[in-house]
Amino acid sequence: MHLSQVTPFPGIRLLFVLLLSSVAVNAQNFSDSLSLAARELCGQDVIYDPSYYVIDYPDGDIPEGRGVCTDVIIRAYRSLDIDLQELVHQDMNSNFNLYPEIWNLTSPDKNIDHRRVPNLMKYFERRGITLTCSRRAEDYLAGDIVCWDLGGGLTHIGIVVYRKSKDEKRNMIVHNIGGGQVLEDFLFNKPIIGHYRYR
């Protein structure tokens, strides 16, 4: 009998299907959890504060009630036991030359590197999934990370969540663009320069 005529053991095929289903469910559950974690941040009063702070490492955070757009991302992931401070610092230690040369640094700085949008973009590009920066609302799913160009060399970052805009056409964004950690219909307000999925 030719090998092509041999029917694979059905149990193996079933196990493979179940494994793929489990991966898909886990990915969906993670997106749900990240979306919820971001939404919960909106209940906290936060003053926009881009100051440099010396913080603990790992699991360091700037003072409660302070933060910028990157802190929304950091805090949402940290609530799911993912420490972007440590992960970005480790990746920069090993691949410093791959990260943006914007701040005239000669080595990584665990206090601030993860709080800079271009560094998070590079980390998500390297360690996550880079997605298209389209104008199609359906391309942006809850749990996705989106980055924008605000002009004048300023960049911005936020998390897509399940809540829909008033016209039901777009998922809304949790971000901090100066008014605290808020839920807003912001997706297409500024040019999108990054779109990532990091689980």
101-122 burial, b for 16+ CB within 10 Å, e for fewer?
eeeeeeebbbbbbbbbbbbbbb
Q: What does residue 149 show for φ and ψ, rounded to 5 degrees?
A: -100, 115
pLDDT at 4 over 50: no
Bigger pLDDT: 101 vs 23:
101
pLDDT at 78 over 60: yes
pLDDT at 108 over 50: yes
Q: Positive or negative CA dihedral for 188, 114, 78, 44?
A: negative
Share of the chain above pLDDT 70, in %: 86
Query: How much is the average pLDDT of 130-154?
Result: 98
Domains belonging to the chain, first-starting first, are 9-197 (3.90.1720)
Q: Beta strand 129-130 with 192-197: parallel, antiparallel or unpaired?
A: antiparallel
Instruction: For residue 136, give both structure tokens.
Output: 């199609």
Instruction: For residue 9, give both structure tokens.
Output: 């053991």
pLDDT at 23 over 60: no
Angle, vertex CA 181, rays to CA 39 and CA 63, nearest 5: 115
Measuring CA to CA, which residue among 24, 150, 108 is closest to residue 100?
Answer: 108
Q: Residue 26's pLDDT is what?
A: 64
pLDDT at 16 over 60: no
The model carries a pTM of 0.87
pLDDT at 2 over 90: no
Q: What is the mean pLDDT of the chain?
A: 90
Token look-up 């030719």 returns 2
Contact 170, 180 (CB under 8 A): no
Q: In whole angstroms, what is the distance from residue 193 CA to residue 190 CA?
A: 9
pLDDT at 71 over 50: yes
User: Is 109 strand, coil or helix?
Assistant: coil
pLDDT band at 28 (very low <50, low <70, confident <90, very high): confident
pLDDT at 37 over 70: yes
Bridge partners, 155 (sequence order): 149
